[in-house]
Structure 1
């Protein structure tokens, strides 16, 4: 820079240029240096604080889940149903044991449905044999049959849980589930939570164990890894860990010894993580934050106490990428300041002197004297600027006159319009405040911006202040937003205690929602539909009763004649033995048909049944005698399985024949191209289960839902009463019947027939 030119400038030029240097360049450079340092420290401290808070919040959430699960486990270990089971086993009362065990299985199944992360619930006796077991397969919860219960006496978690004091909780380390000596596939990490169970004398007689999918923990650490693009860890109480990174695939995991961490991180970082050092910690090129998972603090057993922890680790360089951008920004800024200083020096020589005149005349115009003008000689840009200044001053003079004239008018209009807007706003606020429907304004991030008292009531009366996400109250809201993105939408939100009807209107800033509680309206509609269905069913049953009495009257007399002829022919001489046997069977079938007519008549007017011990194999032999010929003509064969071990059934033999005759004939009609009808029996708990399966055309789902309705049939020659009578007979005997079908493949009817207590033993 040539300072000789600087000394030649006028006093104002020197002062402006000096002020420019000391007021702009120096403070900006100093502020840049301080800004870089403070930005670095603030970013570091804020990131570490947020990181520690995130890990702590997630560990607390996991701890609360285990607290709730432990409370449920201690409650189940002392509930009345378990006491009844123990008492029944000690008293060797089989009937009471079956009832109390079924009730206990129902309670355990209800708990498993409540917690989707529960994998198994088991009650194991002191000898290691399972008493009760509830399993989850995918989304289905079912009770394991008693014949499939296993012995778990050799499992480490059973032995350690038996050592726990009554009223305390045992928590196993993280491992894989083993069934029948093999690791269950697909592999999933499992945590077992158990507590001992006491008998009437206060002695431990077994343990109650819940197998918990570790997915609930894996999801938390996966979310941390995704949010920070780092690696999240879960360390159990036995020196193992599982890690998840942002690029981990769903379902993949690997359990490792904590000692392996020494091969991944520096010794100081590994020691801090394993020995629960300070958190968060920054050093050796890494950032680490970890927090313990505290749960069931008062009830946890000594052999289960350990340092379950979650941790998040990522490289330190990731934190300072933004700081490097700041350094670059300030470097560019510094270069710009140097260029600006040099340019300011050059321009000041050319501009400042004429600008002093412009400044004086501008001050006059600022004071309101629009008659002032400036005189600048030359034909360069400065002269052009002077001419433009004079033109501007002239226009300002004209504009000032117009502005002064319009100012008063505009002020009056503003006052009038302001009063009108205030009145409209007050009216609208009163309408929104006192309307019976809930009104909410929701932004594009699903946060509540505005709501009235009626909306607060619809949100459960909770303090739903503006800024809170609507998804916390209505989990279905994201789906509603997707459907209402481009058009208005009316829909219902189904909540546990109420049904809310919504009218959603999209706006540029989000959505306007009008909500109303329609729970009572929906309940009334449902009750009305149920009453209509019951009235229609009663009308059908009344018609069936009239039809039954007419048919019984018209068919009864010919049946009596047929029976008389069959009885008379049996006393003829020279009758072949085979024909006599056929006549006896014919007479028996006539009797059965007569009984059927009476049961058909009794479909609308039920009558008492007379049960005797019935051999199911003998019953089926009689039924097959009448159906085998028709089946052979169609190319159909019968296959009977597992009837040797089936005890006698308490049933009305004629009605039992009617049941199997209808089902077998339906199976024959369902296989026009031939096939196999399989009839197999089994014993499950205190009932017999008989299945009749064909390989026919199957039944479509809409038809399958109505096959037991009276008068519903898909055959032109059918009456629609066969399966309705079958279900009525089965239900009169205390049993149940259901059907499943795969169209084009098979149809299977399952009958559950109750057994007596002696039969079960």
Structure 2
């Protein structure tokens, strides 16, 4: 029960931090994150959408062009096939014999009936004499093949297709307009699209004997065009030379020329019709178009072997419309915009909270690091106090001893004066002794005062990040002097090596703390089991306004597997022996942060360790308090 209660409390605490009203800083961060997320995702979406729509439009165009090519091939091939069929009939034995008067009409009727039965697209096959009177006619009525009797044959001399074909020379073909079949002056119902192919016929002597006419049921052409359409390609529109629709549109818009209606592309889209006739790509409008002209005369002449093909209303046109890609900002994408807006808002809210939590955690870490540095400084000051107390013992002890001696000498002189036993020479010797002792006392106290003064300056420096001008050599020597007592009880010596006397305008406190930590680190870790050795501190001026401070030892060195981890927090090989795992971490933070420098480590097992601090003579201003902006020189 208690565990469940704790889990609920934790959940409520977490939700309270997430759901609470944002602060002004959080609002600013949230708005910035929202703007960035929304803009980036919108840009990516726009680019991908544009590329996808462009590719989709190209695919639609290629599919439309492919459908048009297939339609062109099929329509032209269909008509050319029946044109060639006329040549075959004309060259047949029965028809030639009928022209020469050698074959009876009944034989030709039988031959025509066989051809109509073999070709399901033939609606009517006729032979019309030169005077315009039908001689032989075979009709298809439903599935039946019906030869027309002599009494029902008609005079076609006034029909346009007879007149046009009967005037053509041998080896020619007339292709009529594609229209609806008319019987008795009325358009046949249901509509029967008809295409007529008519060829003039001649005897072997070249005498014109009339016209051979085949009426094709053009419904198969329109049905085939509909079958060539696909989910990606809309219906293929078929238009004549005047822009009237014959297929691919609604029934009410077809065959306008048969009903005296101006339902043409030229009326409804004159610019498109003009571009189509000119063969140029049409620009503009909500639709994209692909079109092709059908030069049927040339195709039939080439494929069917006619020398001349007369056409009535060609070229025909095939037209396919496909939609233009919608704009990015359109109603189609409104749901996407809404989702993007909500997703960006949720992301901004959560990210801002997480970022603020991270900032708070980092602030706590920085505060902990600062406390750690302060604790380390206090520990360093504690070591300095021990060293100072040891150093003060000697001058103060000497002063006490001399003062005691003077006191005794003065007391003896006083007794001698009271007894009248003091001669001139004895009195002069006593005064000399007192004067010499006073001088010795003063020198001892001056030494103690100097030690205290140096300690005071170093203690003040290490207690703050104040920047000031100082002599690096003197500062390092004073630091080494104060640390000497910590080396007095072991076999390790602390010595100063060559030092260039450079003037710095930097932070002596952090610098002294870093050097002290390096020296103490060498004392604790470089000489295990009481081994003897030396820790040497040197300073060398470098080009570019920098100085290299080196703390080197001749101890055991650092193992290769530990070398990359020595600056990791709480990493130490001597826990329980004075190592906290924080000394080198503090050194690294001070050198690379406050002092604006770099730190390098050169070490090998058994060959000692050499740590070099490469820092500028003038430290950067970051991380320095207001007391650092002084130019007056204090102390060493």
Which range, TM-score by smaller chain? 0.3 to 0.5
Structure of higher RCO (CA pairs closer than 8 Å, 6+ residues apart) = 2
Structure with larger Rg: 2
**TM-score, normalising length: structure 2:** 0.45
